[in-house]
Amino acid sequence: MADSLDSTDNRSSGRQLQVETHGLDVIGDAERKGTPRTLFWPWFGANVSILGLSYGAFALGFGISFWQALIAGVIGIVFSFLLCGFIAVAGKRGSAPTMVLSRAAYGVRGNRLPSVISWVLTVGWETVLCSLATMATATVFERLDWGGGTGTKVVALIVVGALTVVGGVMGFDLIMRLQTVITVVTGVLTVVYIALVADHIHWHTVSALPAGSAQEFIGALVFMMTGFGLGWVNAAADYSRYLPRSSSSRGVIGWTTFGASVAPLLLLVFGLLLAGSSTKLNTAVAADPIGALTTILPTWFLVPFAVVAVLGLVGGAVLDIYSSGLALLSAGLRIPRYLAALVDGVLMIAGSIYIVFVADDFLGQFMGFLTTLGVPIAAWCGIMLADLLLRRRDYDEGDLYRPRGRYGDASLTALLLTLVATALGWGLVTNAAASWLDWQGYLLDPFGLGGKSGAWAYANLGVLLALAVGFLGTLALGRARVHTQEAQAPSPATGEGVPVA
């Protein structure tokens, strides 16, 4: 499998593609090849999407200045992907998917709770990306007078959905090859896009944007974290598990963080300049984040733009559907991995139909989705990071699949920390544009933060609090459990894989 990980390996291009048979099983040493630098390709390919430009408008929507938005974006993107880098280390230490490795912290069956949350998040993300690709295609066709109505959207949804589902069903080998192609094509065409619309930037307008409050800055910062790295932490070890155990941990962290961050950082800067130069464009992005970017393009580049937009979004959706299938298996569903990916594909298409043909407020629903699921995922992330920090040895791979092994059936401490952190977190986040989330923010008034209409209402402090509670709580309460686990003798050898619990 690592043949496909390393794009410079000539054996990769000559090997016949086939459906990946690995599910939750341990990756045998014979298949663990490559170097940490090969992680650059999947992470860059998944995050080079044109959607990164739209985050400039999203950030400015918090009512902050260009410089505030830039600082919030840089910190939010780099820090959140650094969390992915740390969790990726668990992959090379444990040879299993991310949501199997967290069984060490939660227990084998106790881990089903975060697995379900992870599954919902990844299915949600792939649905959002598929929907955006569909709407972008329709907008391009409309501008070209080729028709951009319902028929075009249906065909676009079928094509985008098919590309995503096929990649998810085929598995890791095809995904890694696909990501290399997406990286090159989208990278080049994105540079061309930037060159073509650079004259729409008006620095005097951008620099005149008034500064926002500290609360608005924090809100933008948290939104950037949830929109980028926190949306990937639950899948961060799914790709590093194919690396040799001897791989440098610093290399895994560095290449994961660098590969994932570099494109979003560059796209964010340009997106801020564009959105800050035009109130009209800034507003349009909220309704159609990708399609709105075509309104400032020359007609001859619309088709290449559609290609770069669709490929970039598909690149992220394919990684999501692969990891969502693994999360579904980890939650307890006993079917082959490729069937789990197919099930998620059906749900993705159904959700995309709702967003494309029914929903009338994309940005409000999107922000509500991110902040709501960002809270429990942040809690899980804090617990996973602290548990990994406390460990001095590699995972016992066999016991990750045995409820009666060293990791146990369920860790009440981890489960209670998750529930407490989530309850606290949801009490400190709000989203006025998503009416189905009116119940959130119930702690803003008791905590003296001004209630749901106060200055702190949209700072989304709940995400940061959940991350901190999970991390600090596990450091304080989990040390003895980890010590007891690592004091036990190794479990019997498991060969090339182990049965799924």
pLDDT cut 70: percent of the chain above it: 90
Separation CA 289–CA 275 (nearest Å): 11
For the stretch 459-485, pLDDT in tens is 999 999 999 999 999 999 999 999 999
For the stretch 295-320, pLDDT in tens is 888 888 888 888 888 888 887 888 78
Confidence of residue 56 (pLDDT cuts 50, 70, 90): very high
**How large is the average pLDDT for residues 324-335?**
86
Asked whether residue 258 carries a pLDDT value surpassing 50, the answer given is: yes
Separation CA 198–CA 443 (nearest Å): 45
Measured CA distances, 393 to 86, 189, 389, 456, 485 (Å)? 15, 45, 10, 42, 10
If 0-12 CB within 10 Å is exposed, 13-18 middle and 19+ buried, where does residue 258 land? middle
Nearest to 48 by CA among 370, 318, 322, 313: 313
Asked whether residue 12 carries a pLDDT value surpassing 70, the answer given is: no
Nearest to 414 by CA among 443, 380, 454, 444: 380
What is the predicted pLDDT for the residue at 34? Answer: 82
Most confident of 84-98, 283-297, 328-342: 84-98
How many CB atoms sit inside 10 A of residue 79's CB?
17
Higher pLDDT, 463 or 5: 463
Q: Do 111 and 330 touch, CB atoms closer than 8 A?
A: yes
* Residue with tokens 């500290």, as numbered in its chain: 214
Q: Could you give the 3-state DSSP secondary structure of residue 362?
A: helix
Average pLDDT, the chain: 86
Q: What CATH number matches the domain at 2-361, 1.20.1050.40, 2.60.40.1180, 3.20.20.100, 1.10.4160.10?
A: 1.10.4160.10
What is the predicted pLDDT for the residue at 1? Answer: 35
What is the predicted pLDDT for the residue at 31? Answer: 77
For the stretch 403-416, pLDDT in tens is 999 999 999 999 99
Asked whether residue 36 carries a pLDDT value surpassing 50, the answer given is: yes
Q: Do 268 and 56 touch, CB atoms closer than 8 A?
A: yes
Taking the domains of the chain in order of start, what are their residue ranges?
2-361
For the stretch 213-240, pLDDT in tens is 999 999 999 999 998 999 889 989 988 8
**How large is the average pLDDT for residues 443-468?**
93
For the stretch 372-414, pLDDT in tens is 888 999 999 999 999 999 999 989 988 999 999 999 999 999 9
